[in-house]
Structure 1
């Protein structure tokens, strides 16, 4: 067996709590997954955003309890997401790990492409919201970014 044949297939799947990501995960499982593949479930978490006016104006400021509540809510949401996909992978006997990063100024698409490089992925799998050209231009498209900036093949699962 050649070195190339022994190479592990490592798949990075972008996940969040949307139906689009779940559909992409299910498509991968049903049509592509092989038992020796390694799956990286990758989530780009929101940040707790505190409006600047809340820090500068009296009477409108967020209290430390408000900020703590927002942080805890986000942590809980991320933990539930991890548990959801961890359970799915365990039930399907898929070797996996869950990676979570916090969104930065470059966006989720950049984070996915960067993680795929760092973790030596051979394939990226993402869902698509199915935005039209105008909305995609204005709002940005993670799947479009991955396709145009990725260094490896990408599978984009469209909405139903």
Structure 2
């Protein structure tokens, strides 16, 4: 757990550009300007889906596929964490706790807030419209309503064509 005298910021990441933009934005605004005396402790959390949830409900033979799916999910998690480390190092943010936790991102992030006694959770916004958000669900929306801390939803600027 982070040092008690500093407030904790948890940043939720996945393998999307939106997520890495949110990480960079948070580092630029809350960490990099204060180097090396950061006023916050940083915890970066990646929620790795379980193999069964990644393939959904499947018929006979699904059990044969699970080890391959699990292997792919572990490789993705390793890439996500490695990229997060690179981004932190490029911003001179070295004292970072990185976690990969299996489960639904909504629950994983809210549990990380509790575990680390975070005062803020930062997540990226995928920018889904109302229909897509209703079908897929929104991690940021869920966290905004259920996390027991302030939640910052970082949106990427839209580029005009």
TM-score by length of 2: 0.79
**Runs of 4+ residues over 6 Å off in structure 1:** none
Instruction: Say yes or no: does 1:88 pair with 2:91.
Output: no
- Give yes or no for the alignment of 1:154 onto 2:151: yes
**Comparing 39-48 with 90-99, which one deviates more in the overlay?**
90-99
- Give matches, 1:1-160, under 5 Å: 7-33=5-31, 34=34, 35-36=37-38, 37-49=40-52, 51-54=57-60, 61=61, 64=64, 66-94=65-93, 95-103=95-103, 107-160=104-157
Q: Which has the larger radius of gyration?
A: 1
CA distance in 2, matches of 1:117, 1:62: 35
Q: Deviations over 1:94-134 (max 9, x none)?
A: 2211111112xxx3222211111111111100001112223
Distance 1:142 1:20 in 2: 13
| Structure 1: tracts of 5 or more residues without a match | 1-5, 55-60
Which has the larger displacement, 13-22 or 130-139?
A: 130-139
Gaps (5+ residues) in structure 2?
A: none
Task: Give the total of aligned pairs.
Answer: 145
> Per-residue deviation at 1:70?
2.4
Q: Tell me how far 1:157 sits from its aligned partner.
A: 0.9
RMSD: 2.0
What residue in structure 2 maps to residue 3 of structure 1?
A: none
Given the superposition, is the C-alpha separation of residues 127 and 63 from structure 1 closer, same or farther in structure 2, using an over 3 Å criterion?
Answer: closer
Q: Report the alpha carbon displacement of residue 7 of structure 1 after superposing the two structures with TM.
A: 2.7
TM-score by length of 1: 0.80
